[in-house]
Chain A
Amino acid sequence: MVQYSKPRSFYDTFERKGEGQISTHYCPGCGHGNAHKLIAEAIDTLGIQDRVVFLSPVGCSVFAYYYFDTGNIQCAHGRAPSVGTGVRKTLDDAIVISYQGDGDLAGIGMASIVHAANRGENITVFFVNNAIYGMTGGQMAPTTLIDQKTQTTPLGRNLQRDGNPIGMCELMDSLETPVYIERVTFSSPAKIMKARKVVRKALQNQIDKKGFSFVEILSPCPVNWKMSPTDARRWVSESLEPIFPVKNFRDLDDVRGESAKLPLMEGNRLLDYLKPEKHISPEAPNETVVDQQVKIAGFGGQGVMSAGVLLSNCVIQKGLNTTWLPSYGPEMRGGTAYASVKVSTQPIGSPVVDFPNVLIAMNGPSLEAFEEKVPAGGLIMVNTSLISRKVQRKDVRTYYLPATELAKDVGLIATANIIVLSIYFLISEVVDLDTFRKVIPLSLKKKQLAEMNLQAVDKAEVYFSEHPLEQS
């Protein structure tokens, strides 16, 4: 028979409920008292009281923390499995118990339970299904039966309007990850006795780090069903059990375990891990450098973003200030992509380049878009491999180069950005090519391509010596 002595993992008096309180807030004949007791007994038997973190839901059992003398966290409606995930990922040895009702788990919290189960979190979920909302006052639950009358289905649950009652064990069983799924019933003292073993097993699984365990309890709610406790137990047996079959759905022996973590890096090891790879000591800034407002524009794949990053990385080595701002999002996937880079001896305010004094146009649309924005005296560099027209402005400096073809000569078309950047450095003298050559291998993600990129710098240097900037 069910024990009526108080388990150790219950408080002696329920002070959180009120001073000296010894009775729970549950109604006569309600199944929550039984469920609480089975769990508390299992906690005692398994000797895990100190390790338990009990998650109270929203619903009638919102105050479960009145009773369980364990660590307690009260959760937002339906989100206990997510909260449990957070606890699980923080405390390796805690026993996380999520105790939820049907509105909480199968209604508002459906995404939370499904994904926690699918991740196979090593937690134990007790799902008390009484086919109705209790705390809120007898409204329809996701598990309310067809034709069952509730406050919000006064004429009975209607299939066409409200759908079918959801079988949560069946739904859990459609996922591969959970290790243990069982439905039990509180329709009689004998059935409650049977449930005791299931409760214990679901917790033992967690102690053994097996993975996600789910126990559904068909439980009477005499008050909201408007029945006597005896009739309510009979209704569980006669009405709920046929719709929600009482059985074990899954009991796997294998240990799914938890995702292994790498050793925690702290202190100097963490600093070492995060420290910059690029290790050239910055020089004292050349104060004569004129502020550069560079726009490098082309289509995706021409390396305009990385050219900007390379430029910024180079000027940092020269002790200068810099900002790099990308175009991003859908623009990146087709059309014009551009990087805006500012370089200055002074701290930089706005990173936005509206009027570039250097425009590097890698394709036609980029020249169309930005030619008019360049202030008088600015520099426009044109990739003649892809742009056939000349710059129409007469008040700017221009430099034409077949960047894409030169890159093809090097043997890697993706080095067009290196070629154009090299020549920009030769024209502007913001960065010397030796610095550029040092930065390239440090900035490249694909280290094996460094050699070709360095060849591109050589190629550009030769090209520029043969085709110097025409002085206007």
Chain B
Amino acid sequence: MNKQLMKGNDAVVYGALLGGATHFFGYPITPASEIAHAAALHFTRTGRTFLQAENEENAINMIYGAASAGARVMSASSGPGISLMSEGISYMAGSELPCVLVDIQRAGPGLGNIWPEQSDYIMVAKGGAHGNYHNIVLAPNSAQEMCDLTYRAFELAERYRMPTFILADAYIGQMMEPVELPSEPKTTPRHDWAVYGDSESRGNLITSIMMNTDLLSEHNWKLLDKAHQVEKNELEFEELETHDAEVLLIAFGISSRISHTAVEILRSQGIKAGLLRPITLFPFPYQRIKELSEQVDFIAAVELNEGQMAEDIERAVAGKTQVLRYNWLGGIIPSTEEIVERITTDMGSK
């Protein structure tokens, strides 16, 4: 199969189509708009549904409807749009509806700007709206993974009947790289829970309201149990040079690409650096970080936010080693050299 050069944002749409997506409801926003553009073209041309909603709140409710009717359905946005969708995401989680949502993170809060940040980590990885629930969160760091993880996200979402996120950032979305497409196109099976407007599914009900406290309690425990299953079965991460690492960098998305190069430079200087890259942010690799924390002198949590993932790392480490926060805000991207320098400095002060 030939590779084709494409933007991460375009790769999402290719992965979605091959992953069996049939419906896209969205509202354009920089730096995610190319996804809507590509979906408008390719969903329509391949006999699927693309609809531009009047706003993100209604887009997520169209998704709610299509998912209720058993469709593989998705949207893509950036932080401000995901904020608007949050209410609907909570309803989908409560009603146990699958969907795939792509967040091409930009800098916040508020309108912020269109450059990359990773400051939606807590909003997305911890739920984001009212009530007890979890999303499955996948964090690609290349155009290839934008395609592959979106391709796989639909089955994950359906297996657990949970909203599933692709949490990327402006650079991962805007960057072009060669992509090889998955070779097996998927389709949606019929679900026994969905409402199809036929006699077989007539008794089905999609709802998140449960006035009986015992019933809602039971339902919430069930949602938590599903989240535990996800933690047990779906954890993914990648390691680079961790076997003898004395300094461990932890990063996802664009930060992990920069950290990757930083580790190579540090190694060439004789410094035993390694990189752990979570591919899933929920579930999060607590156990592996705990193991590595006993081996390394310190951990550098490299993030384009004020240390949102670092809190999870600190929880995993539980004081066994120091977690240093390497943070950049406002859309500023560190150079590889900057990271190398900080590591070198922090090693000296140990």
Contacts and interface: CB of A to CB of B under 8 A. Distances in A.
Interface in B179-211: 181, 183, 185, 187, 195-199, 201-209
Contacts of B45: 262, 265, 273
A52 B204 CA distance: 12
Given A312-B5, A352-B258, A274 B17 contact: yes
Given A82-B53, A85-B62, A89-B51, A76 B197 contact: no
A87 B68 contact: yes
Contacts of B171: 325, 351-352
Contacts of B59: 82
B4 A278 contact: yes
B65 A87 contact: yes
B58 A71 contact: no
Contacts of A153: none
Given A76-B91, A262-B44, A324 B62 contact: no
Given A76-B88, A89-B62, A62 B209 contact: yes
A16 interface: yes
Nearest to A327: B174
A323 B175 contact: yes
Contacts of A263: 47
A282 interface: yes
20 contacts: A50-B199, A62-B209, A72-B204, A74-B209, A83-B65, A87-B68, A262-B45, A271-B185, A273-B46, A276-B2, A277-B4, A278-B4, A309-B5, A313-B5, A322-B5, A326-B176, A330-B114, A350-B261, A351-B254, A352-B258
Interface of A: 16, 49-53, 56, 62, 65, 69-76, 79, 82-91, 93-95, 111-112, 114-115, 261-268, 270-271, 273-279, 281-282, 309, 312-313, 316, 321-326, 328-330, 348-352, 354-355
B128 to A, nearest CB: 15
A261 B174 contact: no
Contact of A352 (B68, B88, B91, B335): B335
Contacts of B214: none
B31 A86 contact: no
A275 B2 contact: yes
B176 A349 contact: no
Given A94-B196, A352-B335, A316 B206 contact: no
Contact of A86 (B17, B63, B176, B208): B63
A75 B47 contact: no
B177 A323 contact: yes
Nearest to B185: A270
Interface stretch (B69-77, B280-288, B303-311): B69-77
B61 A76 contact: yes
Contact of A325 (B175, B196, B337): B175
B291 to A, nearest CB: 24
Given A82-B58, A322-B178, A51 B198 contact: yes
A56 B171 CA distance: 42
A250 B88 CA distance: 33
Contacts, number: 237
Contact of B183 (A83, A112, A271): A271
Contact of A79 (B51, B61, B260): B61
B48 interface: yes
Given A270-B46, A276-B3, A312 B176 contact: yes
Contacts of A282: 2-3
Nearest 4 CB-CB pairings of A with B: A86-B65, A94-B197, A349-B261, A349-B260
Most buried by A among B18, B30, B61, B175: B61
B179 to A, nearest CB: 9
B236 to A, nearest CB: 18
Contacts of B70: 90
B329 interface: no
Nearest to B211: A63
A52, A84, A112, A282: which has the most chain B beta carbons within 10 Å?
A112
Interface string B85-103: 0011001000100000000
A276 B195 contact: no
Nearest to B46: A265
B5 A50 contact: no
B257 interface: yes
Contacts of B48: 261, 264
Given A326-B174, A351-B171, A94 B257 contact: no
Given A316-B5, A351-B254, 14 more contacts: A50-B198, A51-B197, A73-B65, A73-B195, A74-B207, A79-B61, A82-B53, A82-B65, A90-B66, A261-B48, A265-B45, A273-B46, A325-B174, A329-B115
